[in-house]
Amino acid sequence: SVKEHPRKIMLDLLPQECDVLCTHPMFGPDSGKDGWTGLNFVYERTRINQVILDPNDHHSFHQLSRAESIIGEEDNETFLDKSGHAHNLHEKNEGFAEGMDRMERFLSIWEEEGCKMVSLSCKDHDSYGANSQFITHLMGRILGQQGLEETPIDTKGFQSVLKLIGSTTADSFDLFYGLYKYNSNSLGTILKLRTAMDDVVLKLHEMDNKDNTFMVKSRL
């Protein structure tokens, strides 16, 4: 459910010869029990044949200008990426082609099952996730702390609230903690929620004060 943290670990610890493909099926056993058609499958081609790819354009390393390249051996060109990593690469590099083919064959498994394939950087994934998945779990946990239960007059909206509580609290707290700890955007989401809560309560108090002032004037 978080991508930047494991991406960094894999790039730091796995051998340079190991290709890296970061993926996240945006569904689980419950939401995918009736099939995967239309469900999002997020992926980032991270490293192929020792080359760390630009997550926004995996072909960008083929488009560097001559001025950006450092000419090396006759059949190779060496360039520095934005992180300062030096890479040897050639258009006819078989290792790269083989690595790309392996990734495509893996991704095709999900595509053939009907998944909606979403190419997205790990950074953007975590940014979106903090404001969708994490805040969903956060609200479910907060509402769960209220001890809310069914009533004889439940509205559809309240039934949705209970469903949210049930689905989020069914997961372990360790999973929820992981969403918080390993996504650098999660704390910002919490702070925004606190600010929003304060703003709403302040508006209620302001309306209350206006009503009280109106009642005093009416009595006069």
pLDDT value of residue 106: 97
pLDDT in tens, 87-136: 555 445 788 889 999 999 999 999 999 999 999 999 999 999 999 999 99
Instruction: Break the chain into its structural domains and give their ranges.
Output: 1-120, 122-220
Residue 59 has pLDDT above 70, yes or no: no
Question: Which has the higher per-residue pLDDT, 190 or 51?
Answer: 190
* Better-scored residue on pLDDT, 211 or 206: 206
Check pLDDT > 50 for residue 78.
Answer: yes
Q: Name the average pLDDT for the chain.
A: 85
Measured CA to CA, the distance from residue 140 to residue 142 in angstroms comes to: 6
Q: Quick one: residue 35, left, alpha or beta (phi over 0 = left, psi -120 to 50 = alpha)? A: left
pLDDT score of 82: 53
pLDDT at 85 over 70: no
Lowest mean pLDDT, pick from 75-79, 134-138, 208-212: 75-79
Centre a 10 Å sphere on the Cβ of residue 15 and count the other Cβ atoms it contains: 6
- Record the tokens describing residue 51, joined without a space: 């080359």
Residue type at position 9: I
Q: Are 170 and 29 in contact (CB under 8 A)?
A: no
Residues 73 and 77: their CA atoms lie apart, in Å, by: 7
How far apart CA 88 and CA 71 sit, in angstroms, is: 10
pLDDT at 96: 84
Q: In which band, very low, low, confident or very high, does the pLDDT at 86 lie, cut at 50, 70 and 90? A: very low
Q: Residue range 60-88: average pLDDT?
A: 44
Mean pLDDT to the nearest integer, 186-210 = 96
> What pairs with residue 20 in β-bridges?
47
**Could you tell me the sign of the dihedral formed by the alpha carbons of 62, 68, 72, 75, in that order?**
positive
Query: 151-176: per-residue pLDDT in tens?
Result: 999 999 999 999 999 999 999 999 99
